[in-house]
Chains A and B, each alone.
Chain A
Amino acid sequence: MAARPHLRPSAGSTYLHTLQHQRHQALHTSTPLSKNSISIVHPIHHRIRYKKNQLQPAYKDILQTPKWDTQSHLFKPQYTQQSRLEEHYNTTIAPDLLLANFVHNERVIPGRKRQEWDGSSQYHINRPRRAPAGSAVETPDIKQRTFKNIPRLEAIWIHAFVRDAVRVNQERALPTMVMMQQITGKKPRPVYSKATVMTWRLRKNMMVGAKVKIQGPDMYQFFATLVEVVLPRIKEFKGIENTSGDMFGNISFGLDPADVKWFPEVEGNPELWPNLAGLHITLVTSAQTDPEARTMLSAFGLPFVGKERLHNVPSFEALEAIDRKKGIVYNY
């Protein structure tokens, strides 16, 4: 079999035809095999796109070494130092969260799912399911909380909309973009407008902001700076609202332009940052509900204020009825 190159396909590339091993196959016609006949097996051609230019020996070192190899030009050393928050989570917070969130003999709380037609009419056959009751979209089930699904911080999204980029000049979005790069260590992507609204002098495909997603040690570093340096310096900040959340464990809050200057990278040389926009920060967690996410984030020192918005949990009897219908019986 011909060698398969492990390269990403791209436009304008040639096709490589690979041949399968010739198997003994009966002919599709019913002529019997005689001494002078041969069995012809038609080859099956698999097309793989590849750039022939990339296979030349000169590129072997550059293109065919994996990213994690130190000999690669894309190599980036990671975990050169301990991630303080991650270690604290693994050592202290996770076992405490397991205890805090533990519910004995917990039932699976079903989410809102698409409804099947009952079959009272013949036209119900193959009809697509109805929208969920009480919701536009399907919601996930709340699974049993075990040691395998302890809530943890997965990613942080930082997004900025720069109003001056619409009103004055698109270049006004750049300082905020550079600032985001400085505080996160990752290159942000620009955000373009999706619609044209004349009253706001907004056109489609204008660069109006930037966004960046951080994960891993970078994320914990940024979160530590936020909680320990930036948020305590903000006047009139008592905590994040308890009502903030998307129902399934992701908490969002914002920073004003005045608050953003408390980041050490900006505070160190304020004359370089004259016009900065505020930020929207979304903490993406693996918690199944908002209260769980808040519990986890409070362990890192993030305060919350306001009335708690609890996740609506059906009563014990209702859950039992649902399980009985499915045939699930809990023996206590």
Chain B
Amino acid sequence: MILASSFLPRMLRTRTRTIFANGSVLGAANFPAVSAFSPQATIDVMACNGSLTFTRGKRSRAGGELQQKQKIVNMLSLISPRRKQPRRIKMSYEDLLRHRTVHRAWQLIVRARREERRLELQKQYYKMKHACDELQKASHVLYESAMEKPSPIRFPMEYRIPTLTPPRRIWDATWKPPAEEKKRKRTV
């Protein structure tokens, strides 16, 4: 089984290389002519379920180097999609009909929710616009005061994103808005 390093831009050739027990590669040119990770090279590692196979029964003297190569093979197999494709879903005709019906119903619900949100935002925008138009006609001073905006605009840190379960401390009765920090000279 060939371990495909599919992150290389060029398609693999079918030529394979064998790694001996001592870690040397059969037929490999020396660095830097052939590097395992250059885009022009082909890296074909004989691997069987992520482990190395040995073509000759030599005992390894440098066991550490072999372990290192094993680690690299493991990492490459993690990245590669080899043997990780999920099984194809096979459905009977009735199951297919059920799936399609449910899927369509859900898509309709999602669409309705999206439309509802869009309409809400549209209404909000036009209400704000009309309110500002009316205020401008009514009072110039109030209008100018209303048009002032803080700079920069930041949402408070206490603006918590909802979670499935409540927080450990549900309500803090002693909370006070943080006081504005004085301008400090940067020491770093």
Contacts and interface: CB of A to CB of B under 8 A. Distances in A.
B136 A181 contact: no
B37 A173 contact: yes
Interface stretch (A25-33, A44-52, A184-192, A278-286): A184-192
B147 interface: yes
Contacts of B117: 90, 94
A240 interface: no
A187 B154 contact: no
A70 interface: yes
A104 B132 contact: yes
Interface residues of A, number: 55
B187 interface: no
B79 A178 contact: yes
A170 B32 CA distance: 11
Interface of A: 70-73, 75, 84-85, 88, 90, 93-96, 98-102, 104-105, 146-147, 150, 170-171, 173-175, 177-178, 181, 187-190, 192, 203, 205-207, 224, 228, 242, 291, 294-295, 298-301, 303-304, 308, 310, 332
Given A98-B124, A173-B37, A203-B32, A71 B91 contact: yes
Contact of A303 (B7, B32, B157): B157
B35 interface: yes
Given A95-B124, A171-B72, A299 B159 contact: yes
Given A88-B161, A203-B32, A299-B159, A190 B121 contact: no
B7 A190 contact: yes
A90 B153 CA distance: 19
Given A93-B155, A192-B39, A308-B151, 6 more contacts: A96-B155, A174-B76, A175-B75, A205-B39, A207-B38, A301-B161
Contacts of B133: 104
